[in-house]
């Protein structure tokens, strides 16, 4: 049988340079490949380590030289960039009609090559058995030309239609031929799916302008969705909404501590099923970015490290330590092998186009000295040895060793410069909001500012941008880190914690994504001309195939910017970017939001008469375990992580001491003092509660105690609220009672101190209720009378019917203190409903103008930090359901009840020439138009005001178009509403509707 070489299908028009594997036999299965070790040279040049930054996710610009050794020897020729000042170029000057440099003039880095020759040979209706080399090669070349010509149109069609099923999976070489012969009328869409797969999987690489897929430069818009922060039942809908929002890829971390909670005992079940999550992404037709880490930060408990790692002798985390490196490589290899075995890397036909090793190490590398530099080099070599055939990245690592790509994290990355001019500009974390601490207000980042940051990133050469987060989700169980990170990880993301569209952020970004996709060729292939007017105001022109697209940027926080482009005047609001795909018409401005605003409400469930329908049972949690069989003894105070292995939030420290007659400690002024590293401390003497105190760092508990002569038992219950997840050497931050623990009394002879720190101490890990799995609701001997109110360390139990409908469900825990909640044995996470945000620091309005920071726009001051807790519908059963609460501080469960979350009302504020889409949630319909005005309306959603120039029939028109419908689209034009001679400037339509 003659063999077909890959050279026969190469097109001189395609900028693809590959290491050619051996020629393929016709019978070779599609998707198989010969693995070759990379000969990319490792870097011998390192940049200076980045210094510590005071901000959790502060951006540190990359500056170190490095290189990626491709298989081509030519010098890269990035597209010409001209930066011109207004003094040397008129703003109205004709745009240069310069074609982009040919793609072949750019060094193209190619990674991996699936063997699809057989598919190309067999993709024909009649001659599947043909073996003639000459005829086969002719057909391959013909098919290749057709694929190349159709690729762009197919790609556009797939982007505009976001509901396709998974790509066709094929078996052996003749599979498609057999299907065609069996069904000559093979659907065109099915053929397109195959073409899409061949286009997508042909090769993956990068150059200075972009990632390249099948030799085509691509911009990638991605969003973070963390699989453990939702449920498998939620994944398809979350990913569908991300795709509808204009995303090309989904990004996720891999969370070591939940996958290997005990040494070499792995868990990939339920919402930890990484492969299922990645396949769900693939089924939606999206790419994936896999951030293996395995350190993740992510406001996740212990940064994603399993706590047993801390107890291995002679280990030091994240530095040149062979013990740690062995464990890191073992887990990384486990994940890579798992993903490889499912053929999920792009080089295997899967969705994963980028993989990350380590995470934000450059921010804290200086804490590790020379060991940090050695470690980061080891990380790069270890990652490359995994042979995944997709690019590896390191975020916040300006000296990332070759061939690793360094990337940026932050609120703004437009000024980020990759380490050299041979790699693309990638933004791995664009923070769409911020996380929340117990006792803190809710952070908020405007849609205008997020869009501004994205538009500037692509204006200044960006190619891959990932939203952190696109869906934040929920910190179920004990996964929240910090310490003191809330159970909700909403993050003010485009999809809220429950999976609802967070409008207007989702819609405003979707519109931006649509525009960026339309000008993708110009952004990735076009000549670039920058015209600076001031340090913060500029016009950027991308010219491709004699057509130009323009960005007009205005980073001035206070003043609008007016400029003339091609004879047309444009005024760009302060702190915004306008995009003109043809340099003539503004189709998008980051400050002009045309998407609806959804006002979410919580509705009472119709399943039962709540809250009084809930009948409670209770069971006490013992605090004295001195005689328990489940204790162990040490002659010192133990650090809590070491004692518990983080199997519980709770550790009991117990010791006994004697007080004698006429002892000064029997006096009324005896002071008990306990030094602890947090986070919460409950103190008991002889089962009597002395007091409770908490703080995010170390603190000293002090209380006066009245002691009688005799033997006394001191019980200290130390509670963690998430382990530290960020910082240099964060893994060594201690928790628990480390002392001193002492009694102080005053007598005629002076101050007397009884130091209990060196006593023999008994320890018990976890609650009795945890040991007996009370949270499953199956235990007997629950009390039904004399429900305790305001008592600490109590278990509560009730049953309920699942709320009707499909809207997301929450449980309102107002009235309770602090503890944990379960539904049908599934953990909802920690609750702390009695922890209120302070009264200061919130804003009644939020000005999008000016650089964002975590405390810039906040709300919910003076209210419980978190009152409602997400209950995924997959947690419910069809019959009776059980809610279990462990109350730690003391509270009242009487007002606990379930609610559903839905859209209560929608508002729109769209500019003339755009369209306004109003939509209720689920099966809801628009039942009332509370306000409608076309002209110059003022105010904001919920308080709109009619301006001094308004079309008289606006309300009637909007009612006709929208009432009784779940969704309506209004084209905002004077043709619909009538001309307004009284108005100067753009007209606007403002609408408020009730669902």
372 upstream amide cis, omega within 30 of 0: no
Q: What is the set of active-site residues?
A: 360, 429
* SS3 category, 375: helix
Q: What SS3 string covers 41-52?
A: CCCCCCCCCCCC
* Residue 25 backbone zone (phi > 0: left; psi -120 to 50: alpha; other: beta): beta
Rounded CA separation 298/482 (Å)? 9
Mark 420-441 as b/e (b = at least 16 C-beta within 10 Å).
bebbbbbbbbbbbbbbbbbebb
DSSP string of 461-520, one letter each residue: TEEEEEEEEEE--B--TT-B-BTTB-SB--TT-SB-TTS-B-TTHHHHHHHHHHHHHHTH
60 upstream amide cis, omega within 30 of 0: no
Rounded CA separation 880/528 (Å)? 64
Between helices 369-385 and 322-341, what is the axis angle to 10°? Answer: 30
Would you say 214 and 202 are in contact if contact means Cβ atoms under 8 Å apart?
yes
Would you say 886 and 820 are in contact if contact means Cβ atoms under 8 Å apart?
yes
Count of other CB atoms within 10 angstroms of residue 341:
10
Q: In the sheet where 576-580 sits, what is the strand order?
A: 81-84, 527-534, 537-544, 547-554, 576-580, 588-589
Instruction: Answer positive or negative: Cα dihedral of 120, 125, 129, 133.
Output: negative
Query: The tokens 């934040």 sit on which residue?
Result: 472
Query: The tokens 């212990």 sit on which residue?
Result: 302
Instruction: Name the CA dihedral angle for 327, 277, 423, 197, rounded to a multiple of 10 degrees.
Output: 130
Rounded CA separation 363/57 (Å)? 8
Using the 8-state DSSP alphabet, how is residue 65 labeled? -
Rounded CA separation 431/425 (Å)? 17
Closest CA to 243 of 165, 357, 352: 165
Using the 8-state DSSP alphabet, how is residue 388 labeled? -
Instruction: Answer positive or negative: Cα dihedral of 684, 690, 695, 697.
Output: negative
């Amino acid at each position: 049988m003659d063999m077909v070489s890959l050279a026969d299908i190469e097109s001189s028009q395609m900028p693809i340079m590959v290491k050619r594997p051996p020629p393929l036999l016709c019978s070779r299965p599609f998707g198989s490949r010969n693995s070759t070790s990379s000969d990319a040279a490792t870097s011998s040049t390192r940049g200076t380590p980045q210094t510590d930054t005071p901000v959790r996710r502060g951006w540190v610009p990359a500056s170190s030289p490095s290189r990626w050794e491709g298989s081509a020897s030519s010098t890269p020729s990035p597209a010409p960039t001209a930066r011109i000042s207004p003094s040397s170029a008129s703003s109205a000057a004709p745009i240069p009609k310069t074609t982009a440099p040919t793609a072949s003039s750019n060094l193209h880095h190619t990674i991996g090559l699936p063997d699809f020759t057989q598919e190309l040979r067999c993709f024909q209706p009649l001659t599947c058995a043909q073996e003639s080399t000459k005829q086969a090669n002719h057909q391959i070349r013909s098919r290749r030309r057709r694929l190349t010509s159709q690729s762009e149109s197919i790609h556009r069609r797939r982007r505009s239609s976001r509901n396709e099923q998974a790509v066709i999976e094929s078996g052996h070489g003749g599979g498609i031929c057999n299907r065609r012969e069996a069904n000559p009328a093979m659907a065109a869409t099915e053929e397109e799916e195959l073409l899409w797969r061949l286009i997508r999987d042909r090769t993956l690489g990068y150059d200075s302008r972009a990632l390249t897929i099948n030799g085509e430069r691509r911009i990638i818009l991605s969003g973070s969705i963390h699989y453990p922060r939702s449920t498998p039942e939620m994944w398809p809908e979350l990913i569908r909404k991300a795709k509808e929002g204009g995303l090309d890829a989904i990004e996720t971390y891999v969370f070591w501590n939940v996958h290997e909670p005990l040494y070499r005992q792995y868990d990939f079940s339920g919402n930890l099923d990484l492969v299922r999550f990645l396949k769900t992404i693939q089924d939606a037709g999206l790419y994936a970015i896999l951030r293996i880490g395995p350190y993740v930060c992510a406001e996740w408990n212990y940064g994603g490290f399993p706590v047993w790692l801390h107890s291995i002798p002679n280990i030091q985390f994240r530095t040149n330590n062979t013990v740690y490196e062995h464990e890191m490589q073992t887990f990384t290899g486990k994940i890579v092998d798992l993903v490889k075995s499912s053929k999920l890397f792009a080089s295997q036909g899967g969705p994963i186009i980028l993989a990350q090793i380590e995470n934000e190490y450059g921010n804290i590398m200086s804490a590790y000295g020379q060991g940090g530099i050695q470690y980061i080099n080891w990380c790069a070599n270890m990652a490359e040895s995994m042979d995944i055939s997709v690019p590896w990245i390191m975020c916040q690592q300006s000296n990332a060793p070759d061939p690793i790509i360094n990337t940026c994290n932050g609120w703004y990355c437009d000024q980020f410069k990759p380490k050299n001019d041979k790699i693309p500009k990638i933004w791995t974390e664009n923070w769409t909001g911020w996380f929340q601490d117990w006792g803190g207000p809710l952070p908020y980042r405007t849609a205008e500012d997020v869009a501004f940051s994205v538009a500037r990133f692509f204006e200044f050469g960006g190619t891959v941008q990932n939203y952190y987060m696109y869906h934040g989700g929920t910190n179920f169980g004990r996964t929240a880190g910090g310490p003191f990170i809330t159970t909700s990880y909403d993050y003010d993301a485009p999809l809220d914690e429950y999976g609802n569209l967070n409008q207007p952020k989702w819609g405003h970004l979707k519109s931006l994504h649509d525009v960026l996709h339309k000008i993708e060729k110009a952004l990735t292939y076009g000549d670039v001309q920058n015209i600076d007017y001031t340090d913060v105001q500029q016009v950027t022109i991308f010219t491709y195939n004699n057509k130009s697209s323009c960005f007009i940027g205005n980073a001035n926080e206070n003043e609008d910017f007016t400029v003339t482009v091609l004879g047309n005047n444009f005024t760009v609001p302060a702190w915004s970017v306008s995009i003109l795909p043809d340099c003539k018409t503004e189709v998008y401005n980051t400050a002009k939001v045309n998407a609806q605003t959804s006002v979410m409400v919580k509705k009472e469930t119709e399943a039962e008469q709540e809250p009084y329908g809930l009948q409670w049972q209770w069971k006490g949690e013992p605090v004295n375990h001195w005689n328990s069989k489940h204790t162990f003894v040490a002659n010192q105070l133990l650090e809590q992580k070491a004692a518990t292995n983080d199997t519980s939030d709770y550790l009991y420290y117990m010791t006994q001491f004697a007080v004698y007659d006429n002892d000064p400690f029997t006096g009324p002024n005896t002071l008990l003092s306990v030094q602890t590293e947090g986070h919460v401390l409950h103190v008991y003497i002889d089962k009597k509660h002395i007091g409770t105190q908490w703080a995010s760092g170390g603190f000293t508990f002090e209380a006066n105690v009245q002691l009688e002569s005799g033997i006394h038992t001191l019980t200290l219950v130390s509670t963690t609220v998430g382990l530290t997840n960020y910082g240099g050497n964060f893994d060594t931050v201690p928790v628990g009672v480390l002392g001193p623990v002492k009694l102080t009394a005053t007598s005629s002879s002076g101050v007397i101190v009884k130091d209990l720190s060196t006593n023999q101490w008994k320890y018990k890990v976890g609650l009795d209720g945890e040991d007996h799995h009370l949270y499953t609701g199956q235990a007997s001997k629950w009390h039904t009378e004399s429900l305790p109110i305001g008592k600490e360390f109590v278990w509560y139990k009730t049953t309920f019917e699942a709320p009707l409908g499909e809207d997301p469900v929450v449980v309102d825990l107002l009235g309770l203190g602090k503890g944990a909640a379960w539904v049908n044995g599934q953990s909802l996470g920690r609750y702390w409903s009695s922890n209120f945000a302070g009264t200061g620091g919130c804003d009644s309005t939020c000005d999008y103008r000016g650089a964002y920071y975590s405390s810039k726009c906040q709300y919910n001051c003076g209210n419980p930090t978190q009152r409602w807790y997400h209950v995924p519908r997959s947690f419910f059963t069809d019959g009776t359901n059980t809610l279990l609460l462990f109350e730690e501080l003391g509270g009242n469960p009487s007002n606990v009840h379930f609610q559903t979350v839905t859209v209560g009302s929608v508002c729109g504020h769209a500019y003339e020439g755009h369209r306004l889409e109003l939509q209720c949630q689920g099966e809801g319909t628009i039942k009332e138009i509370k306000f409608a005005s076309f002209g110059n309306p003022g105010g904001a959603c919920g308080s709109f005001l009619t301006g001094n120039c308004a079309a008289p029939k606006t309300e009637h028109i909007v009612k006709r178009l929208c009432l009784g419908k779940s969704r309506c689209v209004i084209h905002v034009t004077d043709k619909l509403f009538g001309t307004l001679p009284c108005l100067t400037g753009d007209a606007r339509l403002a609408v408020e509707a009730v669902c």
